[in-house]
Chains A and B, each alone.
Chain A
Amino acid sequence: MVDFHEFFVAILRSGTPLVYAAMAGVIVQRSGIWHLGLEGIMIIGACATIVGIVLTHSFTIAILAATLTCVAASALQWFVIEKLRANQIIVGLGITGIGIGGTAFAVEIIFGSLAAVSAPFGVPRIGGDFGPYSRLSILVLAMPFVVLAIWVLLSRTRFGLRLAAAGEHPFAARSVGANPSVMRLLAFAAGGILCALAGAELAAGSLQIFAQNMVAGRGFMGFAAVIFGGGHPVGSALAAAFFSLVGVAGIRMQIHFGAFVSHDLLLCLPYLATVLGVWLTSRTRRGTRAAAQIAELQDH
């Protein structure tokens, strides 16, 4: 049983950043845009959290700084897609590049070297007497509630319905007085907050370290979870949990069958699962595709 708990804790630990990133992707997806900048905004959040903790010795200030920078980066992405009408996929990749290059640049000018930065402490832990679970961060504990809250927000509130209208039928949104463009900005801002949490959990949840390019595709995996989960918050969270399960199972298999299968090939499993997921999604639902141009989402 102890082993099961350890296994479950490992899944929670590696899956939580994915779930937060996927939630950011879900909200932005609702507004009609594919959020391929998740990777970049997540690494900005990770970097800002660690640098904030190191410089100010306060977790609160660090997470606020991370939130602010992530929201700013998301707003930039929104601006280029919405106002400059650039291709959303290329812009997403550009934001990812800015996140990876910019954080490396920032770390080098602040600390004078490219070495990994480690912080004295990280996200507060759950604590108490819950065995292996007490070592998890409070962001892990908050994760299921955030997912449920986003589900309620998207399907049970006026804001959520207007957001969906902005993505699916801008004219309908406009006819009830909601500006689709502003709705998308709000979606990106909310996505920025969630990406900051994703980055904070990744860098300060258990490791308390920031290294160059440390997100290593998790943002894209979070995005794939959105597609796999059909854009539904709970479905996407489950998809993210599945990817993380596959990853953790791969590491366990390494321990038991390491002599037969290479470790690096087992690390492929989450990516392969993602491809499989996207393929299954396209077979079951009529393949999800990004809007070709922002003009399709602006009805004027």
Chain B
Amino acid sequence: MTGKLDAILRPLAFILLATLICGLVFQIAGYSALLMFDSILDGAFLSRRSLEKSLRWALPLFITAVGVGISFRCGFFNIGAQGQFYIGAICAAFAAEWMAGAPAAIAVPLGMLAGMAGGALWALWPGILRLRSGADEVITTLMGNFIAGLILVYVTSGPLKDPSGSGQQASTRIVPEEMRISDAGGVSPTIIAIAAAVGISGWLLVNRTAFGALAGLAGRNPTMLRFQGGRIWQLGLASFLISGALAGLAGSVELFGPSGRIASGSLPAHGFTAILVALVASYAVLATAVSALFFGGLFSAALFLPILAGLPASAIDLFNATVALLITARIALGSRLHRLPGRWRNG
């Protein structure tokens, strides 16, 4: 049980520490840290309306983070969730475009599948490069993020350009009303059902299948995996594909759901936040839901922060980055932790 307690207390301690550090920084910068925390709580969690807003951002984050967790658990640092999210949304947008006029009951599921396929494809090539040639997935997936961002700029100003779009931010044409799975509020039974399905199948995959057991082994001790007769090749490719597909699914949920379109450069921190969500949850699916709600709440609060506390929205970015800085630290909070065998990555 100590292990489980550690897994809950450690992230809480680090989040508290990051809160203290950032509060201190904001106080020194001349803002009231207390007012800030107060407005974050108010803006994110303390009322039904604000909780609903937090949930709107938490649901896509959760879907992506479950995938990130599976890939990290397997020992592969697929940090390309951002790019996979974009490509997923782009593919879903193309599918929606082609199926315009088709009944929504067919078009929307197919569009989501297209999004998943797109995300998976964007994780497939780094996966193959990593598993066949040993090209480090950290760099390839990172570069994939930049390339996907540029493809999004291209698509929104070219093939899928919304002619009515004005101003600086190009975006795709808006998805037809009958294909939308939620209003702009972003919390609808369909989206909750999708997130729940992802959560349940993710949990089953990790805890009740051979894949889950072997993935955990691959992440902790790849040599052991080889002795157990596991195939790192298959396992790794599956983890890349699953994480990519889920990020792509989150992209298409965003497209068919609250946003209704995908603008160039929209949600630039989605992938990074999803990585944080997964790390804070130590890749456990249930904990991922909680931490997704937390970071979704922060994101939602960031939109109000300038109004309520007079703080720039970048304050939340700073806080998230501080959590990222500390979350993998192995301070002796329960000295057994850093005695855990095993490597973080596959050799």
* Bound together: yes
Within 8 A of A (CB), among B232-284: 272, 275, 279
Contact B328 A90 (CB under 8 A): yes
Total contacts A to B, CB within 8 angstroms?
A: 160
In this complex, the interface size class of chain B, counting residues with CB under 8 Å from chain A, is: 35 or more
The A interface, classified by DSSP as helix, strand, loop or mixed, is helix
Which residue of B139, B151, B275, B314 is within 8 Å of A104 (Cβ)? B314
Contact A101 B272 (CB under 8 A): no
A6 within 8 A of B: no
Which residue of A90, A97, A227, A272 is within 8 Å of B320 (Cβ)? A97
A91 within 8 A of B: yes
Contact B327 A90 (CB under 8 A): yes
B157 within 8 A of A: yes
Which residue of A220, A274, A292 is within 8 Å of B347 (Cβ)? A292
A214 within 8 A of B: no
Within 8 A of A (CB), among B310-334: 312, 314-318, 320-331
As a 0/1 sequence over residues 192 to 204 of chain B, the CB contacts with chain A under 8 angstroms (1 = contact) are 0000000000000
A293 within 8 A of B: yes
Contact B328 A262 (CB under 8 A): no
B231 within 8 A of A: no
A224-B143 contact given A286-B134, A293-B343, CB 8 Å threshold: yes
B308 within 8 A of A: no
As a 0/1 sequence over residues 279 to 300 of chain A, the CB contacts with chain B under 8 angstroms (1 = contact) are 1011100111110110100000
Contact B154 A265 (CB under 8 A): yes
Contact A95 B325 (CB under 8 A): yes
A279-B129 contact given A98-B321, A265-B150, A289-B347, CB 8 Å threshold: yes
Contact A86 B330 (CB under 8 A): yes
A275-B143 contact given A87-B328, A104-B317, A292-B344, CB 8 Å threshold: yes
Within 8 A of B (CB), among A57-115: 76, 80, 84-87, 89-91, 93-98, 100-102, 104-105, 108-109, 114
Q: How far is the CB of B22 from chain A (nearest CB, A)?
A: 10
Contact B134 A287 (CB under 8 A): yes
Inter-chain contacts of B140 with A (CB < 8 A): 275, 278-279
16 inter-chain pairs at a CB distance below 8 angstroms, sorted by A residue, are A89-B79, A91-B325, A91-B328, A101-B318, A109-B30, A264-B153, A264-B157, A268-B151, A271-B143, A272-B147, A275-B139, A275-B143, A282-B135, A287-B135, A289-B134, A289-B136
